[in-house]
Amino acid sequence: MKKNVIVSGGAQGIGKTVSLRLIEQGFAVSVFEIDEEAIDEFRLETGNADMAFYTVDVANEVQVKDAMEKSFADFGNIYGLVNNAAISINKNIVDLSFEEWKRVIDINLSGAFLCTKYASQYLKAEQGRIVNMASTRAIQSEANTEAYSASKGGILALTHALAASLGPQVKVNSISPGWIDVSAAKKKANATQENLTPEDHLQHPAGRVGKADDIANMVLFLLAEENDFITGQNFVIDGGMTSKMIYV
């Protein structure tokens, strides 16, 4: 039986790349995704029997609970959970409505809580792993990102709380991506390769803008059974940009 990993927001962007890499590495993958058009396109691209798709709004408790039960029934286990689903509504705080604020918090933070709540019993049974997707915005923000930044700061706090609450059976960590180019990994209607300049790349001490594979590599590392002494941690994957901006 293959180990089943749930990836929320798993049909586009970083989530899509993570889903594909998990399949390549021999996992089964349950894609939780709200965008049905993205699901349909991804299903046609892959056609893999070890990947199942579930239409889920992660801010909807009934949908999350139902999809979690179906994923377990379909694959017989839930070993991993990648809480990746997120949106951003970046506006001047005067113009940001309370409903918009709540929607960002509901998807980005409450969605991670709900997915974890309903996956936890299955993860404990498998000595499983949770990887939460935070952001460098959680520790170094930009103007007009209050809702997104607050949601990602909450992910950091949720991560170390869950590590304490679910340990030792379940290991819980987070990843904070910096500038990751996912322009071409969206559904066809939105996919356009971003034209990155040499200056864009040279902003990073690593010498380039990040790729979704950079994040997928860390997800795979944190899911690996042998890395079971790592929990409650946040890993910044930004090509050194945060360190440069803080200390230079």
Q: What positions carry a catalytic annotation? A: 148
Residue 239 contacts residue 178 (beta carbons within 8 Å): yes
Q: Which residues contact 44 (CB under 8 A, 6 or more apart)?
A: none
Task: Give residue 241's identity as a one-letter amino acid code.
Answer: M
Specify the 3-state DSSP secondary structure of 206: coil
Q: Which residues pair with 29 in a beta bridge?
A: 5, 51
Name the token pair of 243. 């360190």
Cis peptide before 168 (omega within 30 of 0): yes
